[in-house]
């Protein structure tokens, strides 16, 4: 089961958020939450907000934070605001203000269960073995 959290229309270029994401990629979830506030980038604040939101989504579903890990982080480009500065001779220089979308997907670690169900063939074999051991015991 995956827990998804998104933040759209962030007024910061994806180019400025992606280096922060590359720092976080192979860390544990608790480690990320502890270290991101100390990263001196504006994108770190936005990313931390989305990760905390995903953790809250998991808590609402009843999943412990210890079982969570960062499965995927996507930073995609949103719409662009096109602005400009007027310059001489009736011209203007364009300024493109880019927006970002951040999507965080958290995975849940599966706890291994040692109680596995036996198939019919396995149960029949165990019963036959038990019967054989009982018959051998009665002959002595």
Report the pLDDT value the prediction gives residue 135, as an integer from 0 to 100: 66
Q: Is residue 42 situated within a structural domain?
A: yes
DSSP for 119-134? PHHHHHHHHHHHHHHH
pLDDT, tens only, 6-41? 999 999 999 999 999 999 988 899 999 999 999 999
Query: Is the pLDDT at 139 greater than 70, yes or no?
Result: no
Q: Is residue 39 situated within a structural domain?
A: yes
Q: What is the CATH number of the domain that holds 14?
A: 3.90.470.10
- Domain extent at residue 98: 3-111
Report the pLDDT value the prediction gives residue 57, as an integer from 0 to 100: 95
Report the pLDDT value the prediction gives residue 126, as an integer from 0 to 100: 78
Q: Is residue 96 situated within a structural domain?
A: yes
Q: Is residue 128 situated within a structural domain?
A: no
Q: Is residue 84 situated within a structural domain?
A: yes
Q: Count other Cβ atoms within 10 Å, centred on residue 58.
A: 21
Q: Is residue 107 situated within a structural domain?
A: yes
Long-range contacts of 131-138 (CB under 8 A, 24+ apart): none
pLDDT, tens only, 56-83? 999 999 999 899 999 999 999 999 999 9
Total number of domains constituting the chain: 1
Average pLDDT, stretch 104-124? 76
Report the pLDDT value the prediction gives residue 104, as an integer from 0 to 100: 96
CA nearest to 5, candidates 61, 76, 55? 55
Report the pLDDT value the prediction gives residue 113, as an integer from 0 to 100: 65
Q: Is residue 119 situated within a structural domain?
A: no
Q: Is residue 101 situated within a structural domain?
A: yes
Local confidence band at 132 (pLDDT 50, 70, 90 cut-offs): confident
Report the pLDDT value the prediction gives residue 124, as an integer from 0 to 100: 77
Q: Which residue would you say has higher pLDDT here, 41 or 140?
A: 41
């Amino acid at each position: 089961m995956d827990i998804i959290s998104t933040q759209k229309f962030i007024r910061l270029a994806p180019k400025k958020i992606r280096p922060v994401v590359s720092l976080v990629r192979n860390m544990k979830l608790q480690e990320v939450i502890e270290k991101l506030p100390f990263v001196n980038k504006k994108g770190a604040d936005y990313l931390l907000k989305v990760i905390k939101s995903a953790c809250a989504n998991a808590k609402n579903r009843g999943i412990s934070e210890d079982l969570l890990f960062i499965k995927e982080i996507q930073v995609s480009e949103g719409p662009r605001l096109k602005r400009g500065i007027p310059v001489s001779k009736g011209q203007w220089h364009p300024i493109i203000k880019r927006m970002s979308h951040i999507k965080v997907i958290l995975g849940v670690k599966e706890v291994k269960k040692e109680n596995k169900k036996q198939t019919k063939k396995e149960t029949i074999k165990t019963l036959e073995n038990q019967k054989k051991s009982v018959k051998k015991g009665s002959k002595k």
